[in-house]
Amino acid sequence: MRLQIAQIGEEVLRAPANELSREEILSAKIQELIEHMRDTMRNAPGVGLAAPQVGVALQLAVIEDREEYHKKLSPAQLSERQRQPISFHVIINPRIVSADNAGLEYFEGCLSVTGFSAIVPRARTVAVEYLNEHAESKRVDAVGWYARILQHEIDHLAGVLYVDRMHTRTLTTLENLEHYWKDLPTSEVLAKLKSGLGNRGLQG
On whether the CB atoms of residues 140 and 150 are closer than 8 A, the answer is yes
Active-site residue flag, 153 = yes
The active-site residue, picked from 153, 175, 178, 188, is 153
Neighbour order of strands in the sheet with 116-123: 103-109, 116-123, 172-173
Catalytically active residues are 153
